[in-house]
Amino acid sequence: MRQTRNTPQRDLVRGLLEENYSHPTASEVYELARRENPSISRGTVYRNLNLLAEGGEITRLRMPLGPDHYDFQTQNHYHFVCRSCHRVLDSQIPYDDALNLATANVPGCKTEWHKLILVGLCPDCNIKKPQ
Amino acid sequence: MRQTRNTPQRDLVRGLLEENYSHPTASEVYELARRENPSISRGTVYRNLNLLAEGGEITRLRMPLGPDHYDFQTQNHYHFVCRSCHRVLDSQIPYDDALNLATANVPGCKTEWHKLILVGLCPDCNIKKPQ
DNA sequence: AACAGTATTAGGAATGGTTATCAATAATAA
DNA sequence: TTATTATTGATAACCATTCCTAATACTGTT
C-alpha cells in the first residue's frame, strides 16, 4: 500500500467532513475549503475525497440523482434523497446484511455490497411544491 | 400534456429496447440504432429515451457505477450491477412496497419510490478477476 | 540541519455522459 | 394543400470528475 502524507489540504478536507453531517458534495466541500484556504484547487479536493474514501475514512455516496455526496460516517446505512433539492438524509431503516449473502438473488453473481436509496420530497420541498 | 408524434427514429429506439433485455445504455442504443439508420444522431437517441421514459414506456436506471441504463420492463424490480464491466442484471428479490409506505424511515420525508442495487461481480468478471 | 526521494499541489486541459440550441425537416390537423 | 409545430441532425455547451504537468513540500535518512 502506497504511503500517504499529511498535508494541510488533506487535513482541511477531512476536518470539513468531520464537522459536517449534511453529506456534502465535492463542490460544497470545495466551497467550504476555499473559505479556509482560498488557493486550494478543485482537483485537490476531489483527489483527497477519493483518497479518504479509498482509505475507508469517509464514504462516497453515489446517488440516483445529482452528483456524488460524501459522508464521514462509514458504518453501513441507507439514505434518502430529495428529488427536488437533492439533499441527502440518513434513513433509519436497519441495514440488512442478508441482502449481500443471498446467492440466489442474481444467478451466478456474487453480491459484495448493496445500496438502498429512498427518493421523495424533503420537508422543505414538500411545503414549496406539494406534488 | 404535450402532443407527441410517431417518427421512424422514435419507433426504432422503442423497438430496440423492446427486443433487448440487456438493459442497454444510451450509447449502446445509439450504436444499435445506427445499424438500422446510419444518419440517426446521438441527440435524437437521448431525446427519445427521455421521452419514452417520461411517458412511462420504458424505465431509466441510474446506477451507482457507470452510465444510465434503460429497461423496457416498467414493473418495479431491483437490479444487480457488475462493478467490473457495469453490466446490469435483474435481481430476483421481491419488490418491497412497504419501504415506500414507512413514514418513520426518514423523519418528515415522504418516500415516493426507492431503489435497491446489488453490486458485485458478474459470472464473466468473476472468472477473469476473482478478487 | 541538509539531503534525497517522492507524494502532493495548483492550475488547467481533457474526458464522459448528457442536455441545450437552432435552422431545416416532416408529421399531423384543418 | 396548407399551416402548425413536434422532431430531427449537427454541433455547441454543460457538469461532474479525472488526468496532466512542472513546481512544491512532506518525511525518513544521513
Q: Which A-chain residues 57-86 have CB contacts (< 8 A) with chain B? A: 62, 64-65, 80, 82-83
Contact B118 A111 (CB under 8 A): yes
Total-model pTM: 0.87
Measure, in angstroms, how far nucleotide C30 C1' is from residue B33 CA: 35
A75 touches strand C (CB under 7 A): no
Using one digit for the tens of pLDDT, what is the confidence trace for B74-130? 999 999 988 888 889 999 899 999 888 866 567 888 888 899 999 888 888 877 654
Nearest nt (C1') from A47 Cα: D18
CB A77 within 8 A of CB B64: no
pLDDT at B1: 52
Cell triple for A98? 442478508
A129 touches strand D (CB under 7 A): no
Q: Give me the B residues in range 15-54 that sit within 7 A (CB) of strand D.
A: 37, 39-44, 47-48, 51
Q: Which amino acid is at A93?
A: I
Q: Which amino acid is at B4?
A: T
- Residues of chain B in contact with residue A102, where contact means CB-CB under 8 angstroms, are 93
Average pLDDT on A84-98 reads 89
Q: How far apart, in whole angstroms, are the C-alpha atoms of residue B29 and residue B26?
A: 5
Contact B90 A104 (CB under 8 A): no
Cell triple for A126? 414538500
Q: Which is more confidently placed, B73 or A84?
A: B73
CB B58 within 8 A of CB B70: yes
Contact A109 B93 (CB under 8 A): no
Grade residue A1 by pLDDT with cuts at 50, 70 and 90.
low
Measure, in angstroms, how far nucleotide D17 C1' is from residue B70 CA: 23
Contact A119 B108 (CB under 8 A): no
- Residues of chain A in contact with residue B99, where contact means CB-CB under 8 angstroms, are 93, 116, 118
Q: How far apart, in whole angstroms, are the C-alpha atoms of residue B54 and residue B35?
A: 26
Using one digit for the tens of pLDDT, what is the confidence trace for A26-76? 999 999 999 999 999 999 999 999 999 999 999 999 888 889 999 999 999
B109-112 long-range Cβ contacts below 8 angstroms, 24+ apart = B109/A80, B109/A82, B109/A89, B109/A118, B109/A120, B109/A121, B109/A122, B109/A123, B109/A126, B110/A120, B110/A121, B110/A126, B111/A80, B111/A118, B111/A119, B111/A120, B112/A83, B112/A119, B112/A120, B112/A121
Q: How far apart, in whole angstroms, are the C-alpha atoms of residue A81 and residue A64?
A: 8
Nearest nt (C1') from A2 Cα: C7
Q: Which amino acid is at A17?
A: L
List, in order, residues 6 or more apart from B129 with CB less than 8 Å away: B84, B121
pLDDT at B131: 39
| Nearest in space to A113 (alpha carbons), one of B47, B61, B120 | B120
Q: How far apart, in whole angstroms, are the C-alpha atoms of residue B62 and residue B71?
A: 11
Strand C positions within 7 A of protein Cβ atoms? 7-13, 16-21, 26-28
Grade residue A131 by pLDDT with cuts at 50, 70 and 90.
very low
Q: How far apart, in whole angstroms, are the C-alpha atoms of residue A115 and residue A120?
A: 16
